[in-house]
Structure 1
């Protein structure tokens, strides 16, 4: 049996099966009888042809096992035979390359999806599904040379030509080659073309060429259905292929009915053209959609976008629009099932990566540990390509709705949306937009109530404010008194457990003992000081910092005060709001204020020691006048900075945060308000401006160096006065000293000088205390004037009104403003070019000039 007869039998069986879906029972019976007779006739022909082929093979000893044999060297092929051989070889090569391309595409999609869903492998069809082309239902090109002897159609009368062509067309319309109309091999994904016998009458051939596009479209749709039914192309394409297959069945019913008319002798070529008109438009639209999906490599949401846009484009063509709406509704069903499960339960079930929301493997435990962890932003993300165009405006709400429910679900609470309702595709977007908005509002309320009421978010934020922003005054007094000596040590010599014990003691001794979350407060010794941390965050890297980064950590010795900070234990789901990034910002604010508090305590200690040292060195009281004045200026600066940060920055900003949290409608609003609160605090406390930060750091350094110098000098004065007092008392009581006593006194003075040499700088030993104080005064004034000038500049250029408040506090009487103006005038005079003043000529000049005249 030749290939054409085999395909004819296949087509006859296909049409017989398709006829079973006909709406007419009478038609079904007639078709069944006709098909039964046709199958019997074809079986008889097959047996006769088989016997004939066996006889030929027995006679030909050198017969080939293939359908065509290579010619001998002596034989010559005609041009027609060469052309036929070339087409066969080309079709085999093209079919192989196309099959390899499809297999490669399927493999890439399969690998991508298996990589994403590592725990669940995608199923695959067995290889024989793709190796047996007869299962596709499309044309079989290049299968061999037909041995069917067809009468040359040009020798037939017009009526016979028309009858033969109608029979061929009925075969071609269902994907089977005819005697006089054959399909050409495909080259890539282009549309199918056909070869019509050139001897056919011109008028008949013209009408045939009008009908053949239907067969080409059918071929495209059939191949699309077969290809997109593979697992790798996703559920949306599966649903689209199934909807197209339903329409193709209706098309096959039509062809079967036309065949019935043809067997009754009632079908002419013109009638065939007339009856095929309604199906032509439908099959053409299906082929156009299939081609567009193929070219765009559409999967999931992108397929729905294409179908939705095509439905809108057909506005005005009711039939075409109805067809596209049918396909879009069918294809959107699996997508909307994923969407419903996401917005109603917070679960993603997307094995083929078709949904607009993509899940990433991130652990929620890392959000408390990793500063750069972006669990909330990156655990679930929107895939722009997979957003259907009719859901583009709602993509953000779809993402947030599922995220909110997912958080509650991961906390062990079962969530079921009470407004859950099936979402059905429609051109009126408002229908499913309302459903998404209802689900979003429900999810927002559920998560917000869960965090605010059950997890006590605001209470935790108040607890953090109490410790990190120094809202608990008595606690810090106790804590700094207890840890002052311990924090003066190098950080490597500090025992963290001792600090933890002292922290526990300070908490129990203060009013912080009533805080239910006090046990979440921990000690953290940082590996770098505050300035280094801030400059790294601000991406500022100086040469000194580069050296510090590459230096050996053992060489960068930090004191406990420089490394000390608090930490706070936050559990899920509060870690979404109070994450490591937020805690790091709290730590930077705390370390800044903690160091300011430490400098204030040092300056107050200097005041206390100076008061005690006055009585030992009355003759040097005038030296202390400048030091006392400078100390008071430093103390005034530090205290005003602290007051500004606590009462003019943090407290008002905190009240704004509390007000915003009460009016927040979802967790994203809460996250935004909290982040804004921290950002505003950092900015207004001058921690985000590198220039202000460096100047402020220098001012603090000058203050600390001054306190150290004053403490050492006070100790030296105290020791000197004590030695003098003891000497005076001894001389008064015992009379003039003996030689041995004088030697002992000299030894004691030598020991005192050695002590002073160890504890007092060289300028002080050289009685240059006043020059040292003047130098401190000059440095402090220069840095403070620099800070005020920069604050004035930024408050004017950036409209930072809070910085103007700092200026008014630090320069309340205009003292520094006058100095700034005076300094500016001096600089301008130095920068101006010096104009030489003309001098009077010497007395002898006129006498020399007169004779010359």
Structure 2
């Protein structure tokens, strides 16, 4: 089995027998020395330490060095122990390579015997050099030169190809590289391994996604002058400092590039203004322009028309002063309609992101923005609908005043009922919109900006942004165990939109009655100008009100809408998770419609509405 680490082990093994061979030569030289007899003095045999005696003269003689079984055992004890340990290490690493092999050698380091510890450490010093070289090349140059698959950092695409699969288009930051734990030496901790992975990954990201290869090359050239990683006792203390220094420089460089060259903050603010409806004048202009088109069936909507209306809304608001790059990224999205969907159900805005920003704003992240947009868009649609209902009811009041005193009682009662329902719904929509726009969005935005500017690497920046979106989705009741609540909210919106239908139908009936009265008045005027009676015998006198049948039908529908709305609102406020989200307590307090609306105030609703 080949590989740089195995070659290093082979070199370390080849150095160990040298001392052993020297010992064998000494022992063989002493075989010719005769063992002293009992009459000889100074015999080293009595040496209690068992050491070979020094010769009495240069030529040897009695008392000179000689071998005995005891002396041979003493001399061979240490070398044999080393040879046995060497054999054990060789056997245990026979089927291993790379970091796994180095880790296997490291496992013998923790021994109580100082001699064994020193021997293993000496072996490890040589075996880990190739791994350290690969780490240094990775953290300084972002290069993986690993022909034998020995390094614990692996290219995910190459790994898939080796396994026989096709390499899809991977997210370079999240999926481009991974840790192969089988090749991770035991002396490198998991946090340190992740830091090493991120350091090289950051360099690759700078080069491949940020087009910052020149800086990467300059940094790699400077790194050539740095010394090799120092280590002792198998713990590699110097490696942590090396990785810390390398990570700090590349992480800061990447953040500087994202914030300055690629305008991370500007894009976040742009999405807050347009996808989260923070640019009020633009959203109002867009809503006014889109309404005729979005009232159509989804299949009848032209995407080209929507694009043109989007551009018109930009020019009609302060969005026209926006940076060109931002406006080019702002686009219309039209989903496929299902059944009776209208344009309101399929329309949304999207914000295109390219690399390197697409690494932070992934398709999944943009879908989360879309969910928030749809909630806010429905709130704006409901607000716009209620404003239109109020405008229609205000015009109806003026028309009814032309009917004369003590007339139009049925129409006026429906007018008051419509105003009452509209006021209740407006109270709900206004407070819910305030809660989402200010308490949720602005609160989460403040936390996000603080965390984003304190991030020390791309992972922390991504985490800050994901935490920001998660806070919005959670507080807006878009994720978690709130499916029932969201369904109730959709039904409440449906009641709001149905109310406009009731108001429009009432408007049609009142306008019809007004036209009949106007025609009758003109007829009377023509007759009187000719000198005749204004109303002849047998002429039918039109009623100054809407027909009884139409009144009953409209009232029935309005009552049903009002009753359904009250039930849904009570269920909605009851099901709000106020225990989990303390901010919702203030929303529930503001939505206390039982206290807010009273029967006594219902009669004065008309005057209050028109005065506002």
Name the TM-score, length of structure 2 as normaliser.
0.78
Cα drift, residue 376 of structure 1: 3.0
Q: Which residue of 1 aligns with 2:127?
A: 331
Cα drift, residue 766 of structure 1: 7.1
User: Residues 161-240 of structure 1: matches in 2 within 5 Å?
Assistant: 230-231=1-2, 234-240=3-9
Q: Which residue of 2 aligns with 1:718?
A: 511
In 1: Cα distance, 2:549 partner to 2:267 partner: 52
Q: Which residue of 2 aligns with 1:30?
A: none
DSSP 3-state at the match of 1:361: helix
Cα drift, residue 687 of structure 1: 1.2
Q: 1:623 to 1:500 in 2, by over 3 A?
A: closer
From 296, 301, 304, the counterpart of 1:497: 304
Q: Which residue of 2 aligns with 1:344?
A: 140
In 1: Cα distance, 2:33 partner to 2:513 partner: 136
DSSP 3-state at the match of 1:523: strand
From 548, 567, 570, the counterpart of 1:782: 567
Cα drift, residue 258 of structure 1: 6.5
Cα drift, residue 557 of structure 1: 4.6
Deviations 1:809-844 (A, max 9, x none): 2227735899xxxxxxxxxxxxxxxxxxxxxxxxxx
From 762, 770, 786, the counterpart of 2:555: 770
In 1: Cα distance, 2:307 partner to 2:549 partner: 40
From 167, 185, 197, the counterpart of 1:399: 197
Contact 1:237 1:331 in 2 (8 A): yes
Q: Which residue of 1 aligns with 2:330?
A: 521
Q: Which residue of 1 aligns with 2:175?
A: 378
Q: Which residue of 1 aligns with 2:98?
A: 300
Cα drift, residue 626 of structure 1: 1.6
Q: Which residue of 2 aligns with 1:559?
A: 342
Q: Which residue of 1 aligns with 2:533?
A: none
Higher Cα Rg, which structure: 1
Cα drift, residue 265 of structure 1: 11
In 1: Cα distance, 2:397 partner to 2:500 partner: 16
Q: Which residue of 2 aligns with 1:435?
A: 242
Cα drift, residue 696 of structure 1: 0.8
From 249, 262, 276, the counterpart of 1:469: 276
Deviations 1:295-318 (A, max 9, x none): xx43322222222231122x4423
Contact 1:644 1:806 in 2 (8 A): yes
Q: 1:249 to 1:765 in 2, by over 3 A?
A: farther
DSSP 3-state at the match of 1:595: helix
In 2: Cα distance, 1:768 partner to 1:557 partner: 24
Contact 1:811 1:817 in 2 (8 A): no
Is residue 733 from structure 1 mapped to residue 526 from structure 2 by the alignment?
yes
Cα drift, residue 387 of structure 1: 2.1
In 1: Cα distance, 2:182 partner to 2:597 partner: 61
In 2: Cα distance, 1:727 partner to 1:568 partner: 58
Q: 1:638 to 1:605 in 2, by over 3 A?
A: same
DSSP 3-state at the match of 2:563: helix
Deviations 1:396-442 (A, max 9, x none): 21122222222112133232166754213322543221111111211
Cα drift, residue 264 of structure 1: 11
Q: Which runs of 5+ in 1 are unaligned?
A: 1-229, 363-371, 529-554, 737-744, 750-755, 819-853
In 1: Cα distance, 2:456 partner to 2:462 partner: 11
Contact 2:171 2:359 in 1 (8 A): no
DSSP 3-state at the match of 2:350: strand
Contact 2:297 2:340 in 1 (8 A): yes
Q: 1:572 to 1:705 in 2, by over 3 A?
A: same
Contact 2:152 2:179 in 1 (8 A): yes
Q: State the Cα RMSD in Å.
A: 3.3
Deviations 1:772-825 (A, max 9, x none): 22211111011111111112xx212x2x1111121122227735899xxxxxxx
From 584, 592, 597, the counterpart of 1:803: 584
Is residue 682 from structure 1 mapped to residue 478 from structure 2 by the alignment?
no
Contact 1:251 1:279 in 2 (8 A): yes
Q: Which residue of 2 aligns with 1:624?
A: 415
Q: Which residue of 1 aligns with 2:356?
A: 573
In 1: Cα distance, 2:83 partner to 2:340 partner: 80
Contact 2:485 2:575 in 1 (8 A): yes
From 98, 118, 122, the counterpart of 1:322: 118
Is residue 408 from structure 1 mapped to residue 206 from structure 2 by the alignment?
yes
Is residue 699 from structure 1 mapped to residue 482 from structure 2 by the alignment?
no
Contact 1:785 1:816 in 2 (8 A): no
DSSP 3-state at the match of 1:391: coil
Q: 1:237 to 1:734 in 2, by over 3 A?
A: farther
Q: Which residue of 2 aligns with 1:446?
A: 253
Q: 1:632 to 1:375 in 2, by over 3 A?
A: farther
DSSP 3-state at the match of 2:154: strand
In 2: Cα distance, 1:703 partner to 1:501 partner: 29
Q: 1:769 to 1:406 in 2, by over 3 A?
A: same
Q: 1:487 to 1:676 in 2, by over 3 A?
A: same
DSSP 3-state at the match of 1:801: coil
DSSP 3-state at the match of 1:522: strand
Contact 2:502 2:558 in 1 (8 A): no
Deviations 1:367-412 (A, max 9, x none): xxxxx97553322222223222221141221122222222112133
In 2: Cα distance, 1:709 partner to 1:265 partner: 126
Which of 1 and 2 has higher RCO (CA within 8 Å, sep 6+)?
2
Q: Which residue of 2 aligns with 1:155?
A: none
Contact 1:359 1:380 in 2 (8 A): yes
In 1: Cα distance, 2:131 partner to 2:207 partner: 22
In 1: Cα distance, 2:595 partner to 2:137 partner: 67
Q: 1:684 to 1:520 in 2, by over 3 A?
A: same
Q: 1:399 to 1:733 in 2, by over 3 A?
A: same
Q: Which residue of 1 aligns with 2:156?
A: 360
In 2: Cα distance, 1:722 partner to 1:573 partner: 64
In 2: Cα distance, 1:374 partner to 1:404 partner: 13
Q: Which runs of 5+ in 2 are unaligned?
A: 36-65, 159-168, 401-407, 531-538, 600-612
Q: 1:616 to 1:525 in 2, by over 3 A?
A: same
Cα drift, residue 250 of structure 1: 5.3
In 2: Cα distance, 1:636 partner to 1:373 partner: 48
In 1: Cα distance, 2:211 partner to 2:144 partner: 17
Contact 1:421 1:435 in 2 (8 A): no
